[in-house]
Structure 1
Amino acid sequence: MSNALYTDLSGYYDLMCVDIDYQAQSDGIRRLHQLFGNGGHTHLDLACGTGPHVRRFIEFGYSSSGLDINQPMLDIAATRCPSASFMRQDMSSFDVCEPQDLITCFLYSIHYNASIEKLNDCLLSAHRALAPGGVFCFNAVDKDKIDNALFVKHTARQGTDLFTFRSGWHYDGQGEQQSLRLSIEKADASGVQVWDDEHPMVAVRFAELVDLLEPLFEVQVFEHDYAKITPWDTASGNAIFVCVKR
């Protein structure tokens, strides 16, 4: 199904992400931008979905915009953030009308670049779109640290319907492809429906990722904790990358 699940169920996306602390994530990146940025306030969120991070950056005083490949998501985002601009583009190859001081990519969405080549294209696009001294911030997972047995699960209600969401990474131990496995179960008076989906995503080691980044950016890597600014301990498999344009 590839992106069909997100497109067809865009109205359920916010339920699927109801346990995400968008405020804490956005505030953590805002503080990192204050430390490493150029003082500017133009912002672009890659793979913005329905726009929850964009809304937070608008509240922080940024001139914020969003980019996503799925138009139904962007329609919801435009309603949520009427003062923002949204565009339907592929993040592996995008253009902007004005230089950006901050580009973000939350929720491990950098991995939606389906190959190392596409990932590198995305980094080049971000570098091109940034103003001098601009910052690209994203979170990523190291393919060698993925535990295929782990998954996250939560439930949420919409009216009388009960939804159960499950997601987890899977990497077979070889190559540059991993997947995000998703399951959505909807229970209502008529019974139970289940959607299963698997999204191909790029698999990369952090050392490989840093090698791609360093010709373009000065790179800082932090522990995956938006409440603290703690340098990455080189052991954990999740991290936040803060990349200042060279």
Structure 2
Amino acid sequence: MSPFSEIAPYYDQLMTHVQYRTWVDYTKEIIRRAGIKGNRLIDLACGTGEPTRFLNRAGFDVVGLDSSQEMLNIAQQKMPDVRFIEADIRDFQIAERFDIAVSYYDSMNYLLKEEDLNDCFSSVYNILNEPGILIFDMNTIHVLKDHWDSRIVVRENGDLFSIWENGHDPSTNISTLKLTLFVKEGRGYLRFRELHKERGYENGEVLRLLNAVGFKEAVVYHHLTFNPPDDETDRVMFVVLK
């Protein structure tokens, strides 16, 4: 079973701690500073469409794209008037063009090989107008190594209980999450299990790949700021201009 298949109906409940409204406000300021005037936006790896919903409310002409049909079904129920596309962010082709591409909440970390990142960046480059902008975040090697290694977290969200078992392989910079959900049903619980993997990349590796694809400028910020990242930064935001 692919990640985000069985947990799709419960994903929003698991992610109530993520302040997507703040992320979208930050995105709007990035776009303003970059001088991008168009409002055609594609939300890559949009999942159940929570950030898409805020982007839509902010006035962007938005399209969502994700590889999980289960997640997209939920997104479409929330926003019947928004178009959603089932496709892999590593290899997608769309005839139309966009001014802005975004990808939120470490979706790019799920691309475990440099070739995957390169293919994704190439696909995005091909659908962006010029000038256009790509905005995405990534978990850092620091947070995956120090916070995802040999750690077990138990959470309770109403009738939903979850166990997050993390491990990290320093030889590959790949962290593994074994996620177990217990969903109350009647007098018992349903159990679901999924395996998730994320790879940490050096910022320089990512910038090199972006440059090789043809993007003309890229900067990295400590997430939700316009400050450069440091050794303790947990999450970075890449701002990339075509």
Same-fold status (TM-score > 0.5): yes
Matches within 5 A, 1:46-65: 46-65=44-63
Does the alignment pair 1:181 with 2:182? no
Distance in 2 separating the partners of 1:140 and 1:50: 19
Q: CA deviation at 1:185?
A: 2.6
**CA, structure 1 residues 168+232, in 2 after alignment: closer, same or farther (shift >3 Å)?**
farther
* Map of 1:38 onto structure 2: 36
Q: Secondary structure at the match of 1:207?
A: helix
* Map of 1:163 onto structure 2: 160
RMSD of aligned alpha carbons: 2.2
**Structure 1 residue runs of 4 or more that deviate by more than 6 Å after TM superposition:** none
Q: Which amino acid aligns with 1:223?
A: H
Total equivalences in the alignment: 237
Q: Are 2:110 and 2:199, in contact at CA under 8 Å, matched by a contact in 1?
A: yes
Q: Greater CA deviation, 214-223 or 124-133?
A: 214-223
Q: CA deviation at 1:140?
A: 0.6
Distance in 1 separating the partners of 2:30 and 2:165: 28
Distance in 2 separating the partners of 1:183 and 1:51: 23
Does the alignment pair 1:224 with 2:223? yes
What is the percent sequence identity of the aligned residues?
26
* Map of 2:7 onto structure 1: 9
Does the alignment pair 1:77 with 2:75? yes
Q: Which amino acid aligns with 1:172?
A: D
Q: Summarize deviations over 1:83-128 as a string: whole Å, max 9, x none.
A: 2111000000112232111111111011222322111100111111
Q: Are 2:142 and 2:231, in contact at CA under 8 Å, matched by a contact in 1?
A: no
Q: CA deviation at 1:184?
A: 1.9
Distance in 1 separating the partners of 2:211 and 2:9: 39
Distance in 1 separating the partners of 2:133 and 2:165: 29
Does the alignment pair 1:240 with 2:237? yes
Q: Are 1:210 and 1:219, in contact at CA under 8 Å, matched by a contact in 2?
A: yes
Q: CA deviation at 1:22?
A: 1.3
Q: CA deviation at 1:178?
A: 3.2
Q: Secondary structure at the match of 2:5?
A: helix
**CA, structure 1 residues 212+180, in 2 after alignment: closer, same or farther (shift >3 Å)?**
farther
Does the alignment pair 1:110 with 2:111? no
Q: CA deviation at 1:164?
A: 2.3
Distance in 1 separating the partners of 2:95 and 2:53: 20
TM-score (norm 2): 0.88
TM-score (norm 1): 0.86
**CA, structure 1 residues 79+186, in 2 after alignment: closer, same or farther (shift >3 Å)?**
closer
Q: Which amino acid aligns with 2:156?
A: T
Q: Which amino acid aligns with 2:109?
A: H
Q: Which runs of 5 or more residues in structure 2 are unaligned?
A: none
Distance in 2 separating the partners of 1:19 and 1:117: 32
**CA, structure 1 residues 205+170, in 2 after alignment: closer, same or farther (shift >3 Å)?**
farther
Q: Which amino acid aligns with 1:82?
A: P
Q: Are 2:142 and 2:232, in contact at CA under 8 Å, matched by a contact in 1?
A: no
Q: Summarize deviations over 1:194-234 as a string: whole Å, max 9, x none.
A: 43322233342222112212333311111123xx4333235
Does the alignment pair 1:130 with 2:128? yes
Distance in 1 separating the partners of 2:30 and 2:89: 22
**CA, structure 1 residues 55+30, in 2 after alignment: closer, same or farther (shift >3 Å)?**
same
* Map of 2:140 onto structure 1: 142
